[in-house]
C-alpha cells in the first residue's frame, strides 16, 4: 500500500510502515496522531511499546475521551526478532479491537520481506511503503517546504536544485532528509539563486552524466574529457558511461535518419520514444553532425564496446579514444 492511501481513509487496525523515506513516515505519523488523538489525551490514548506483552496489555486498555487509541512500535525489526510465538501474535491481530490503531515502524534495520512476519502484513494489505518520491512529487515537496519557510523560489530554480542535489540519481542513496538539509543550508544564505545553489551543492553522478552528454553533443573535447574523468573519480563504472554515450549517439543517428526520411519533428519524437526536453536537446545537437559521420562513429563504438568487454586494454584510454573520435570535426 502506498502511504498516501492513509490520508484518504478512516484508519483502524494494524499497519506496518517501511521504506527509505523516514521523513515521509514521520510526517504521516504526525498526521495520524493529530487526526485521531485529541490534544490533552496523549497520556491515555498514545502509547509506545517494545514487545508483545506490552502490546497485549496496551491493546486491552480502552481509549479515554477519544474514539481511537494509537499504539506505536518504533523498531519493528527488533520487535520481530524478540517475538517468541508468531502464531499467537497473528491470532492477536486477527482479533484486534477496532478502537486500536497499531503502527509498527521500520527502524534502522529493514524488515526481511521473505519472512512470515512481513508476509502476514502484506497478505492483509497492511504494509505501507514510504518509497522515494518521483517526478512532480519531488518538486511539490520542495515547493511546499520553501513556502512554509516563507521563501519564494521559481519553478525553474526548484528543478535545478533537485537536479543538483542528486535526489533523483539512481546511484545515490539520498533521502528527503538529505534534501531538506540542503534546502535549510540554502535558506540560511538568504535569497536563493542559481549561483548559491552551485556554490553549495556538490556535483553528483547524474549531474556529471548530463554535462558529459551535453559536451559530446556540442563536440567539445576538453569538457567531454573533464566530465568523463569526473565520472571515473566518483566511481561510475566505465561500461555504464559507455552505454550512456552509445545511447546519445544512437539518438542522434536515429534523428538524422528519420529527418532524411522527411518525418515531422513530432513523429520523430514519438518514434524515438523520448520526452520533449530530451528531444529538444537531440534536435539541437544533431546539427553538429553529418549523417555519415554518425554512422562511422557508431561503427567505431561497436569496436570499442568489443574491446571493453574482451581485452585487457586500459578502459579509460579506450573511452578517451571514443570521445576523441566523436568530438573531432570531420572524423576520418
Q: What is the pLDDT of residue 167?
A: 85
Hey, what domains does the chain have and what are their CATH numbers? Answer: 3-129 (3.40.50.300), 136-200 (no CATH), 205-327 (1.20.272.10)
Residues 6 or more apart in contact with residue 113 via CB below 8 angstroms: 119, 122
Q: What is the pLDDT of residue 202?
A: 59
pLDDT tens digits along 178-223: 899 889 989 998 889 999 888 777 555 667 788 899 999 999 999 9
Percent of the chain whose pLDDT exceeds 70:
96
Query: In the predicted model, what is the mean pLDDT of residues 241-252?
Result: 93
What are the grid coordinates assigned to 184, written together? 535549510
Q: Do residues 198 and 265 lie in contact, with contact meaning Cβ atoms separated by under 8 Å?
A: no
Residues 264/283, Cβ–Cβ less than 8 Å: no
pLDDT at 331 over 50: no
Calculate Rg over the CA atoms of the chain: 27
Phi, psi of 74 (to 5 degrees): -75, -30
pLDDT digits (tens, 9 = 90+) for 13-53: 999 999 999 999 999 999 999 999 999 999 999 999 999 99
Which pLDDT belongs to residue 230?
Answer: 81
Most confident of 84-93, 181-190, 321-330: 84-93
Q: Please write the tens of the pLDDT for every residue from 268-284.
A: 999 998 888 889 999 99
Amino acid at each position: 500500500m502506498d502511504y498516501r492511501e492513509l490520508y484518504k481513509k478512516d484508519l483502524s487496525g494494524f499497519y506496518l510502515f517501511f521504506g527509505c523515506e523516514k521523513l515521509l513516515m514521520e510526517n504521516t505519523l504526525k498526521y495520524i496522531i493529530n487526526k485521531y488523538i485529541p490534544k490533552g489525551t496523549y497520556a491515555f490514548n498514545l502509547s509506545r511499546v517494545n514487545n508483545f506483552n506490552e502490546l497485549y496489555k496496551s491493546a486491552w486498555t480502552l481509549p479515554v475521551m477519544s474514539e481511537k487509541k494509537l499504539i506505536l512500535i518504533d523498531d519493528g525489526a527488533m520487535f520481530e526478532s524478540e517475538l517468541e510465538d508468531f502464531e499467537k501474535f497473528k491470532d492477536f491481530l486477527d482479533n484486534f479491537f477496532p478502537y486500536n490503531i497499531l503502527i509498527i515502524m521500520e527502524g534502522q534495520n529493514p524488515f526481511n520481506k521473505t519472512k512470515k512476519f512481513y508476509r502476514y502484513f502484506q497478505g492483509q494489505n497492511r504494509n505501507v511503503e514510504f518509497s522515494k518520491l518521483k517526478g512532480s512529487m519531488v518538486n511539490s515537496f520542495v515547493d511546499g517546504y520553501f513556502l512554509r519557510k516563507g521563501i519564494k523560489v521559481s519553478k525553474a530554480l526548484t528543478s535545478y536544485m533537485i537536479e543538483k542535489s542528486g535526489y533523483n540519481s539512481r546511484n545515490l542513496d539520498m533521502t528527503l532528509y538529505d534534501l531538506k538539509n540542503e534546502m535549510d543550508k540554502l535558506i540560511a544564505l538568504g535569497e536563493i539563486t542559481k549561483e548559491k545553489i552551485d556554490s553549495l551543492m556538490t556535483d553528483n553522478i547524474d549531474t556529471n552524466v548530463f554535462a558529459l552528454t551535453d559536451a559530446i553533443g556540442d563536440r567539445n573535447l576538453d569538457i567531454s574529457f573533464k566530465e568523463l574523468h569526473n565520472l571515473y573519480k566518483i566511481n561510475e563504472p566505465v561500461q555504464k558511461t559507455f552505454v550512456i554515450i552509445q545511447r546519445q549517439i544512437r539518438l542522434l543517428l536515429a534523428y538524422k535518419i528519420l529527418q532524411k526520411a522527411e518525418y515531422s519533428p513530432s513523429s520523430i519524437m514519438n518514434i524515438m520514444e523520448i520526452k520533449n526536453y530530451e528531444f529538444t536537446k537531440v534536435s539541437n545537437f544533431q546539427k553538429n553532425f553529418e549523417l555519415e559521420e554518425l554512422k562511422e562513429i557508431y561503427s567505431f563504438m561497436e569496436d570499442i564496446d568489443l574491446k571493453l568487454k574482451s581485452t585487457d586494454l586500459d578502459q579509460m584510454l579506450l573511452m578517451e579514444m571514443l570521445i576523441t573520435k566523436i568530438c573531432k570535426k570531420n572524423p576520418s
